Amino acid sequence: MKQLLNFAKSAATASALMLLISSCSKDLNRPSPSIKTNDEKTGSSSTTPRAGTLLWSDEFNGTSVNTANWNIDNGNPGVNNEKEYYQSANATVSGGFLTITARKQSVGGQPYTFH
């Protein structure tokens, strides 16, 4: 039962991470925020549009993880009492999506694999 709870925690953490990553994309249908300024001499105010600047992105084109953008860990770092063994085979790219899979699979002395 404890192993099942640990697996559920790992799956929930992975889901939360994917939600965080997907929520970082810019909504192109929403207007950019504006800056409201006041002219002290005339007393008038104006609104200046402000565009956002994309700092980094990865569209997951191709069939594998772009290792120039991502580090893929393998093994178990031995911290946080983790019960999973990280392996690159659990991270796949297809159709513009990164898929990270957790499996009940014994590798490296750990009962689960993940990435």
* Buried-exposed string 9-29: b where 16+ CB fall within 10 A, e elsewhere: ebeeebeeeeeeeeeeeeeee
| Cα gap 51→33, rounded to integer Å | 7
Q: What is the pTM of this model?
A: 0.50
What is the residue-level pLDDT of the chain in tens, covering all 115 positions? Answer: 666 656 666 766 766 666 656 555 555 566 555 556 666 666 666 666 677 888 889 999 999 999 999 999 899 988 889 999 999 999 999 999 999 999 999 999 999 998 7
Which amino acid, residue 4? L
The confidence score (pLDDT) of residue 94 equals 95
| Cα gap 90→105, rounded to integer Å | 11
| Cα gap 28→24, rounded to integer Å | 12
Cβ(76)–Cβ(86) below 8 Å: yes
Q: Supply φ then ψ for residue 99, to 5 degrees.
A: -115, 125
